[in-house]
Chains A and B, each alone.
Chain A
Amino acid sequence: MIDIRKTVVVTGVGVVSPYGIGLDRLQAGMLSGKCCLAPTNDLYPGFEGTTAQVRELPLPAKGFSSRHSRTDQLAVVAAQDAVAVFDGASVAFRESGVVMASTVAGLTEIDPGIAHDPAAWYRHGGLARAATYPVARVADAVGEHLGVRGPRCAVSVACASGAMAIALAANLLLDEVAPMIFAGGSDALCPFTLSGFNSLQALDPNRCRPFDQNRKGLNLGEGSAVLVLETLDRAAARNANVLAVLRGWAMTNDAFHPTAPQEQGNGLADCMRLGMEMAEAGPDEIGYVNAHGTGTPLNDIAETHAYETAFRERSRPIPVSSTKSYFGHCLGAAGALEAAITISAIRCGALFPTLRLTDPIESPGVDWLRGEVRRQPLPLAISVSAGFGGSNAALIFGSIRS
């Protein structure tokens, strides 16, 4: 028997991606098989690689850009999109909370000039730009722009941030700290992260090939996604359109290495198992895994082992794809964007294939989705994320009928 006061549902999804603004554009782009990854050489002198950028981002308000970072801007536009059909004057809306993830936050606004003489850099226009540095600013930007006054919190757990923001928001919702929570993630491309991943030799100079035996690394992208979470009783009371049910969530840590995943993917497998336990769903009931799937040699093999372990009891291979092959790795936004894609897959009954997956990692327990979009009813799906520092997160979404 479902307790509707303890059932967390998604009643809004806002997206800014390289496909444009809105989940519909993202879904249409992916269904058409369009890849947004393109050669890039203008992000800093000497960089030549492949990224996916958000073009023509409309500013939410006049003067907005002077005190907000590009990461903030992406977040605010996604949040606006998420609440486009909401009654902004309602008490529930006004008391809403915000939990936003980011890894980059205001680093987009800071340049190496700060290293020489910070005080001089601040005097020459850097003061407001540096004020956007703390990740907390992303949550504040969303909260201020929407005019909500519930709790605000930022989450920064590397590439698992976006999924964790949604998981933590779900916990807070059940604790009744706010009637509704806007949860998601946002990250913009910037020289800092491009340079960092480039220095680690983690970037594929061409379009990435997640889970392929010839994968060479990841591509970076940018974007934001914001989900509106509320409990089913509240959503029903206001006759809201329920897009999906957040059936389960879990977080674990590998405690193995600062950057490398545990080779057998044990932490990630545990995370999926815990998520399924919360969802009261067996491995056979999960119809699709939206994978972390970065395209790096170490991540993808560990992740494959994790699927073998988590779905060992399953009667047939588990369908898996990495949608980072469409528009890259959006870091702190990735988990939220992939949650949005997972919801989209459930709603339209479409399992998105991994692009450019010609020679997949051998794994008898995994049904690698490639080639055409697979059409099938999808009652339950899982989105998984992992990040530097060993953190893992799993979100299990279901259709309202499930």
Chain B
Amino acid sequence: MTPNLPDVTITGIGSVSPYGPLAGLISHSKLEPSVIATWKTAGLRRAFLVKPFRPAEVVPGLKTRRLDRLSAWALVASALAIKDAGIDLSQVDRSRVAVVFATSFGCVELTEGFYQSAAANGWSGTDPSTFPETLANSAASHVALFHHLRGPNVTVGSKSFAGESALIQAASLLRHGQADLAIVLAGDTLTRTVYEWYEAAALLSPACYNSEPLLEDSGFVPSEGVTALVLEPEGRRELRSEVSSDARSYAHFRSGRWAAGGQPVEVIRQLLGGCIPSLTICAGNGAPCATSSTTALASEIAGHDGTIVPAQAVAAGLVDTGALLHLILALSAHPSGGQALLLGTSLGASGESGFAALLVELP
């Protein structure tokens, strides 16, 4: 069964990542993990971290003093993406703009803060100002509030494929006429409880424990950040391009599919309609990049005819929400046209391999 998603175009990109807050593509340079200093660690611990910055210096007028980092980054990334798309929101019917946010842990910093207040004061003495902000949809609702976006506002999670799921669902909202424009975001913050959970579950790369250059042999290096894309129906972008040179197109999103099991090769070949993608982008979702099962699936799909882009550690460290960053990094490094496939895999509890595949066409 091949989904027939709308012809949707990615017209804007914004990100807050270990590369910093950026509009548009990311000039590609390999990053090394940073040493964690935010909390006390038992020896050297490293991760891909977003360096502290002042949001108001990136987005003038932005007030984030009362927000957690996830919400602040979502505001910055969305504002950068909208600016990058050349969209003047004052000219847009904001009741027709959707926000779809993919996150695994939501506002986990404030959830930790709420538990700390319960630990200190008992459940009867928790902080009322923190509680509403612990909800997973807080970041998406702040994006709506800041930009006055009154369309569908959705926060989703999906094991290994939250980013892919958000992109597919945002395209679905456009296709069904439930929005004219969609801001898709994906990301998470890295906190002590998250990092130490990965550590206790023995999921981390040896590179987390020494200062040697990153070797992608086993485990992964946790990462953090929020990536935002502006999606528009192609017709709308074309109309804008008649009056504005800013109405660019990074890629057309053709169709997508994700599943918890089944026959990925069969399904993806059906999705491709007999074509071989010129670019297959591996989206490592918390898996070791070099040995990922995604790479093996990509080889089976693409054969020897296309370029296979291995998963990037900095995006793979976002685990469930790294797809959009994988896509941006690949578009940044491989600007050539043709069909591109963003491919991810995961291993489910039943032993079946889940997969996600997004088909995009590069202009």
Q: Which residues of A contact B (CB under 8 A)?
A: 44-47, 95, 97, 103, 107, 110-116, 118-119, 122-123, 127, 130-131, 133-137, 139-140, 143-144, 147-158, 164, 168, 171-172, 174-179, 191-192, 194-201, 250-259, 267, 270, 274, 387-391
With known contacts A119-B199, A135-B157, A140-B159, A251–B152 Cβ distance under 8 A:
yes
Q: Which single residue of chain A is at the shortest CB-CB distance from B171?
A: A175
Contact A259 B132 (CB under 8 A): yes
177-214 of chain B: CB within 8 A of chain A: 178, 192-193, 196-197, 199-201
Other A-B pairs, 17, CB within 8 Å; known A194-B123, A389-B141: A122-B196, A134-B159, A135-B157, A140-B349, A144-B349, A151-B260, A153-B156, A168-B169, A168-B172, A177-B257, A191-B118, A197-B131, A251-B152, A258-B145, A270-B150, A391-B137, A391-B154
Minimal beta-carbon separation of B55 from chain A (angstroms): 17
- Is there contact, CB below 8 Å, between B119 and A112? yes
Cβ–Cβ contact A45 & B122, under 8 A: yes
A252 to B156, CA, bound (A): 16
Nearest opposing residue in chain B for A148, CB measure: B260
- How far apart are the CA atoms of A133 and B198 in the complex, in Å? 13
List B100-142 residues whose CB lies under 8 Å from chain A: 104-106, 111-112, 114-116, 118-119, 122-124, 126-128, 131-138, 140-142
Interface residue? B224 (CB, 8 A): no
Count, chain B residues at interface, CB 8 A:
79
How distant is the Cα of A251 from the Cα of B182 in the complex, in angstroms? 13
Minimum distance in angstroms from B42 CB to a CB of chain A:
8
List, in ascending order, chain B residues with CB within 8 A of A191's CB. Answer: 118, 123
B274 within 8 A of A: no
B154 pairs with A153, CB closer than 8 A: no
Query: Do residues A154 and B200 form an inter-chain contact, with CB atoms below 8 A?
Result: no
Contacts of A46 in B (CB 8 A): 122-124
A114 touches B115 (CB 8 A): yes
- Could you say which residues of chain A place their CB within 8 Å of the CB of B165? 151, 153
Inter-chain contact B145/A257, CB cutoff 8 Å = yes
A45 to B257, CA, bound (A): 47
Taking a contact as CB atoms under 8 Å apart, the answer to whether B196 and A116 are in contact is no
Q: How far is the CA of A387 from the CA of B144 in the complex (A)?
A: 14
Contacts of B133 in A (CB 8 A): 258
Nearest A residue (CB) for B352:
A149
Contacts from B to A (Cβ < 8 Å): 1-5, 42, 94-95, 99, 104-106, 111-112, 114-116, 118-119, 122-124, 126-128, 131-138, 140-142, 144-145, 147-159, 162, 165, 168-169, 172-173, 175-176, 178, 192-193, 196-197, 199-201, 257-262, 320, 348-350, 352, 354
A157-B137, A390-B141 are contacts. A115–B119 as well, Cβ < 8 Å?
A: yes
How many angstroms from the CA of A200 to the CA of B122 in the assembled complex? 15
Q: Which residues of A contact B128 (CB under 8 A)?
A: 196, 199-201
Cα of A95 to Cα of B169 in the assembled complex, Å: 18
* Contact status A253-B124, CB under 8 Å: no
**How far apart sit A159 and B360, CA to CA, in the bound complex (Å)?**
34
Known: A149-B352, A177-B3, A389-B141. A156 touches B172 (CB 8 A): no
Q: 10 A-B pairs, CB-CB below 8 angstroms?
A: A119-B199, A122-B197, A150-B260, A154-B156, A157-B137, A172-B172, A196-B114, A253-B141, A255-B150, A389-B138
The 9 closest A-B pairs by CB, nearest first: A389-B141, A149-B261, A196-B131, A251-B152, A112-B119, A156-B136, A136-B157, A199-B128, A253-B153
